[in-house]
Chain A
Amino acid sequence: MLSSPRLLRHHLPPLQCCFTTAPTQPPSSQILTIKKALLSGETTSVDLTSAFLRRLRRTEPHLKSFLYTPSDQTILQQAQELDNRIQNNEPLGPLAGVVVAVKDNICTCDMPSTAGSRLLENYRPPFDATAVRKLKEKGAIIVGKTNMDEFGMGSTTEGSAFQVTANPWDLSRVPGGSSGGSAAAVSARQCVVSLGSDTGGSVRQPASFCGVVGLKPTYGRVSRYGLVAYASSLDVIGCFGSSVADTGILFHAISGHDKFDATSSKRDVPDPTSQFIANDYLVSKPLKGLRVGVIRETLQDGVDPAVVSSVNSATSHLEDLGCVISEVSLPSFALGLPAYYILASSESSSNLSRYDGVRYGKQLFADELNSLYRNFRANGFGSEVKRRILMGTYALSAGYYDAYYKRAQQVRTIVQKSFRDALDRNDILISPAAPSVAYEIGEKKDDPLAMYAGDIMTVNVNLAGLPALVLPCGFANGGSSGLPVGCQMIGGAFDEEKLLKIGHIFEQTLEGYNFVPPLVADEVGC
């Protein structure tokens, strides 16, 4: 089933082309490599950023990952300022010179933030999301806003009001969604890392489709302030990177308590950087005794055999690393999907009420108020958004509330309990990140139920509020050089550190795979 794994001994540092000598320590983090190179004077932020911009401008016409990028000049000016700071020996932030892309539903005051919706076309928020503010404070260079399904509702980016993003592994396929633009941008090395958001799998599924690492943090770990709300009790800002280390460093930079988000946790977030030790220093069974539960329900009928086979290989790999593998059953697993769609739709029907034609979008004239609302909303929202608003409105209506919303909340409680029980007996749980590899563009567009079914692997984790890390673990046939498959590792609440540690060791020791897509393989280190 596996398509020709490239026989490469290690991950080729994607930035190799920028350096005169290939960095050896630390091996797998572009962020740490950049910092070292900048501090040593090996390269400048302007050179580094220019390299990314060149690649971005070259690949963007094929990919369409970005809805907005500032001018090269604007971006390079930030790089120049950073170089000046380095010259003056001023202290550098942990993300100094790191080129970051931001999903378009995360507010940026200096760039439009449309959430992929026609209604917010050209809308510029007067404030930065807390996560964006932290990125800026820590020295990151934001290269643009990435494409997404409108308001995060979709799994392909085909729900964007503006454009469809292509999968860097096969331009005829979708990158997944809703954070498809952010996943494709990291996959095609248009940026080092990117922010996405995950309400039902919107970071993890595109990470799987694009062959990058995606982290969905615990609910409340990262402030939602400035994240355009889809379903408030499920939404969380997540991270993409081409390595676990980069993803973890980005996660650490944006997480922590925020007084502007009443649901954000006050717990400290440990710095995971010390976990990212080089391969050479690993003992022979670095994950000895770690209990890994494979979720039985995720590897049954309906799941692509290539996906099952890749996840099984990943399990074997974990076993080789010393893990104790067992199978766990989550009997409520199948209930999660309908419960998720009821709760997410209900909350979204409420969250999207504010787009009423009074403040955003094109001013319409109407003879009376209801027709103002009707015309504006009928013309402004895309069909998937309208479908979910209708479903949610229905589920919250008098007489239906108990049968739908309340029932779904009860299911949510059961799902939470079943995860808690399974995680009492295991350190992490694993499953595929999606039941298939990337779809062809248009394949699921007119079949919403089939598209919803694709979320089966991820929605339960949102209902339970748990952290999950998706990392590439294999390939299936498709495209010119195979399509990546992602493995999902689910941890206990607020235990991202453990996931990142396991993920890093897994990634460092996984031999025989190179997850750089053909679109940029020539340029990035082959």
Chain B
Amino acid sequence: MALTFFRGVQTRPLLSYPSIYFALRKHNVSYCNMQNTQLETTERQEGQLKGSTREIHSKPHDKLLKDFEAVIGIETHVQLSTQTKAFCSCPYNYGAAPNTSICPVCMGLPGALPVLNSKVIEAAVKVGLALNCSLSLDSKFDRKQYFYPDLPKGYQISQFDVPIASSGSLDVDLPVEYGGGHRRFGITRVHMEEDAGKLLHTGSGNYSQVDLNRAGVPLLEIVSEPDMRTGIEAAEYAAEIQRLVRYLDVSNGNMQEGSLRCDVNISVRPTGQQEFGTKVEIKNLNSFSSVSRAIDYEISRQVDLHTQGLADQIVQETRLWEEGSQKTITMRKKEGLADYRYFPEPDLPGVTLSEEYINSIGSSLPELPETKRRRYENMGLSMQDVLFLANDITVAKFFDATIAGGADVKLAANWIMGDIAAYMKNAKVSISDIKLSSEELCELIASIKGGTISGKMGKEILFELMAKGGTVKGLIKDKDLVQIVDPVEIEKIVDKVLADNPKQLEQYRGGKTKLQGFFAGQVMKESKGKANPKLLNQILLQKLNATS
């Protein structure tokens, strides 16, 4: 999709800048295209309020897994949603026309110099604190050097030996349908760096093009300890990182747009063995479910090789996850360790943090997913409910506001997870898009609990509130929905119905008591649905059974 879109713009964006496309007869670099491979759409992923990991099915053969243990670590790149890039004042908008958001600095023109955007530090400190890391009061930037056409300076500004944050942890609650359980995974480090541009390969042409819009966009790289053992654990870890950055409002965490990218390192060893097996890296994981499925596939592949005595065929390499065939394939074998010739970035001064700065950021952090989940748990909600409500920050905020308004916790949870979630899924909107406010949900719940309207009426106006807005009180009035709770009034209706149906009454009294339902329906109809069902039944029975 993206490819078609970009085709035919080879000379367009260059203005007075030097030529930015380059010629290659064959590209040996086509893996960059994989970002464009069609996978699950964003909307679908967003629309399913449930974390996508909840829908993962595949499982490697369990019997073999007993004998082997997988060791999994994840490197996550989080694209920060700062207004401007890391080292210049260009904005970044995903999907903008190629090379429309570039300047001498992010193009790496001779003489241009980087100046750090302080919002990058702020985001790094937030994430570092949220991941329980120790922060380095004195860190620095380094240059990571390699040649690639999407890297205009020939080096990436990154952090090497002194990352801004290190030695942290992340708490994760596994999905109930996978047995549940709480896990704590170690975080090795968090560091700041800049993104590279993108290569656009012409379908049939003999050249490739470079789009530098993304060059210089700030990233945080979060490296986990090799603490995960299954695809589900890894996918949940990644989902928790996404939740965390969304709670902190430092990134949109969108995997489809590449705002959250996961590279997985995985090895397999016989259970009980201390040393790690040979590590394989998997790239091109564009959803949590592909993280889980790719890992399960890779575990099976490696375990199979082990059991066949072919463990030596597991080599250190980078493999690509192919969504189509649901397999990992070799992308490139590592020829020894790449030498990036890191050295301190001389164009940028060191990054110094004061205790005051860190404390001020620390005290302004929002409630984090883990804390929220524990709070919900203590409120008496089931783990299923807890995970659902805390999964999406906007849903959690809505829920929190609703109960802050005095609504019953369980009722509020049920409404949100039931009818509201169903509506959002159907209409493909998020909770911030619907017209219903938390105040009105509160009012609705109170109106039902107080008996002003029936649950059925409540449902009816809920949809109207979500689609069109308005107030509960207003709708009850407009639709004349106030429940009839006056026994005298109900009695009148019952009398009328009994009088109108003498034949059925005779049958009932002759022993055909099933007809009670018929009468209840008629009374409800006569009351235009407003009769309080409990009172209705009470009075109806009285009248039916009255032998007069």
- Residues on A lying within 8 angstroms of B by beta carbon are 105-107, 113, 115, 120, 123-127, 129, 224-229, 231-233, 259-263, 346-347, 349-350, 352-354, 356-360, 363-369, 372-373, 393, 396-398, 401, 405
Compute how far the CA of A227 lies from the CA of B111 in the bound complex, rounded to whole angstroms. Answer: 5
Name the 8 nearest CB pairs between A and B, nearest first.
A353-B154, A233-B346, A232-B346, A396-B341, A226-B111, A358-B22, A228-B110, A107-B111
Contact of B29 among A349, A369, A405 (CB under 8 A): A369
Q: Can you report 18 A-B residue pairs in the complex whose CB atoms are below 8 A from each other?
A: A125-B109, A224-B111, A226-B112, A228-B111, A259-B115, A260-B113, A261-B113, A262-B113, A262-B114, A263-B113, A263-B348, A350-B341, A353-B154, A354-B154, A365-B25, A368-B28, A369-B147, A372-B23
Question: Closest residue to A232 on the B side, CB-wise?
Answer: B346
Residues of A within 8 A of B19 (CB): 359, 363
Compute how far the CA of A349 lies from the CA of B342 in the bound complex, rounded to whole angstroms. Answer: 12
Shortest CB-to-CB span from A377 to chain B, Å, is 10
Compute how far the CA of A396 lies from the CA of B144 in the bound complex, rounded to whole angstroms. Answer: 11
Residue of A224, A261, A356, A367 with highest tally of chain B CB at under 10 A: A356
Contact of B339 among A260, A359, A397 (CB under 8 A): A397
Shortest CB-to-CB span from A307 to chain B, Å, is 32
Compute how far the CA of A429 lies from the CA of B109 in the bound complex, rounded to whole angstroms. Answer: 38
Residues of B within 8 A of A360 (CB): 18
Are B23 and A262 in contact, CB atoms less than 8 angstroms apart? Answer: no
Tell me which residues from 12 to 30 in chain B have a Cβ below 8 Å from any Cβ of chain A: 15-20, 22-29
Q: Given contacts A232-B346, A356-B147, could you give 5 more A-B pairs where the C-beta distance is less than 8 Å?
A: A127-B109, A261-B113, A350-B341, A353-B155, A369-B29
Contact of A357 among B15, B22, B108, B113 (CB under 8 A): B22
Compute how far the CA of A303 lies from the CA of B325 in the bound complex, rounded to whole angstroms. Answer: 74
Question: Closest residue to B343 on the A side, CB-wise?
Answer: A396
Are B347 and A232 in contact, CB atoms less than 8 angstroms apart? Answer: yes
Residues of A within 8 A of B18 (CB): 123, 359-360
Residues of B within 8 A of A262 (CB): 113-116, 347-349
Residue of B24, B27, B113, B149 with highest tally of chain A CB at under 10 A: B113
Interface string of B84-106 (1 = CB under 8 A from A): 00000000000000000000100
Residues of A within 8 A of B16 (CB): 124, 126
Contact of B343 among A105, A126, A229, A401 (CB under 8 A): A401
Compute how far the CA of A124 lies from the CA of B27 in the bound complex, rounded to whole angstroms. Answer: 30
Compute how far the CA of A526 lies from the CA of B140 in the bound complex, rounded to whole angstroms. Answer: 57
Shortest CB-to-CB span from B213 to chain A, Å, is 15
Compute how far the CA of A398 lies from the CA of B109 in the bound complex, rounded to whole angstroms. Answer: 28
Interface string of B136-151 (1 = CB under 8 A from A): 0000000101011100
Compute how far the CA of A363 lies from the CA of B21 in the bound complex, rounded to whole angstroms. Answer: 9
Query: B337 near A: Cβ within 8 Å?
Result: yes
Compute how far the CA of A36 lies from the CA of B160 in the bound complex, rounded to whole angstroms. Answer: 56
Compute how far the CA of A359 lies from the CA of B154 in the bound complex, rounded to whole angstroms. Answer: 12
Please report the number of residue pairs spanning A and B whose Cβ atoms sit closer than 8 angstroms. Answer: 137
Shortest CB-to-CB span from A242 to chain B, Å, is 28
Residues of A within 8 A of B346 (CB): 231-233, 263, 347
Residues of A within 8 A of B189 (CB): none
Residues of A within 8 A of B277 (CB): none
Question: Closest residue to A371 on the B side, CB-wise?
Answer: B24
Interface string of B363-407 (1 = CB under 8 A from A): 000000000000000000000000000000000000000000000
Are A393 and B22 in contact, CB atoms less than 8 angstroms apart? Answer: no
Contact of A126 among B17, B154, B155, B339 (CB under 8 A): B17
Query: B192 near A: Cβ within 8 Å?
Result: no
Are B154 and A356 in contact, CB atoms less than 8 angstroms apart? Answer: yes
Compute how far the CA of A366 lies from the CA of B29 in the bound complex, rounded to whole angstroms. Answer: 13
Residues of A within 8 A of B24 (CB): 365-369, 372
Residues of B within 8 A of A232 (CB): 346-347
Shortest CB-to-CB span from A391 to chain B, Å, is 13
Residues of A within 8 A of B149 (CB): 356, 358, 369
Are B22 and A225 in contact, CB atoms less than 8 angstroms apart? Answer: no
Query: B152 near A: Cβ within 8 Å?
Result: yes
Are B110 and A353 in contact, CB atoms less than 8 angstroms apart? Answer: no
Residues of B within 8 A of A373 (CB): 147
Compute how far the CA of A357 lies from the CA of B147 in the bound complex, rounded to whole angstroms. Answer: 11
Residues of A within 8 A of B349 (CB): 262-263
Are B347 and A359 in contact, CB atoms less than 8 angstroms apart? Answer: no
Compute how far the CA of A224 lies from the CA of B29 in the bound complex, rounded to whole angstroms. Answer: 35
Are A120 and B26 in contact, CB atoms less than 8 angstroms apart? Answer: no
Contact of A353 among B153, B342, B343, B348 (CB under 8 A): B153
Query: B466 near A: Cβ within 8 Å?
Result: no
Compute how far the CA of A368 lies from the CA of B24 in the bound complex, rounded to whole angstroms. Answer: 6
Compute how far the CA of A263 lies from the CA of B112 in the bound complex, rounded to whole angstroms. Answer: 13
Are B341 and A354 in contact, CB atoms less than 8 angstroms apart? Answer: no
Compute how far the CA of A368 lies from the CA of B147 in the bound complex, rounded to whole angstroms. Answer: 13
Query: B299 near A: Cβ within 8 Å?
Result: no
Are B339 and A398 in contact, CB atoms less than 8 angstroms apart? Answer: yes
Contact (A126, B104) CB under 8 Å given A354-B154, A356-B147 = yes
Are B341 and A359 in contact, CB atoms less than 8 angstroms apart? Answer: no
Are A225 and B111 in contact, CB atoms less than 8 angstroms apart? Answer: yes
Are B154 and A367 in contact, CB atoms less than 8 angstroms apart? Answer: no
Residues of A within 8 A of B147 (CB): 353, 356, 369, 373
Residue of A232, A260, A349, A354 with highest tally of chain B CB at under 10 A: A354
Contact of B110 among A125, A397, A401 (CB under 8 A): A125
Query: B210 near A: Cβ within 8 Å?
Result: yes
Tell me which residues from 134 to 184 in chain B have a Cβ below 8 Å from any Cβ of chain A: 143, 145, 147-149, 152-155
Shortest CB-to-CB span from A389 to chain B, Å, is 11
Compute how far the CA of A445 lies from the CA of B388 in the bound complex, rounded to whole angstroms. Answer: 74
Residues of A within 8 A of B17 (CB): 126
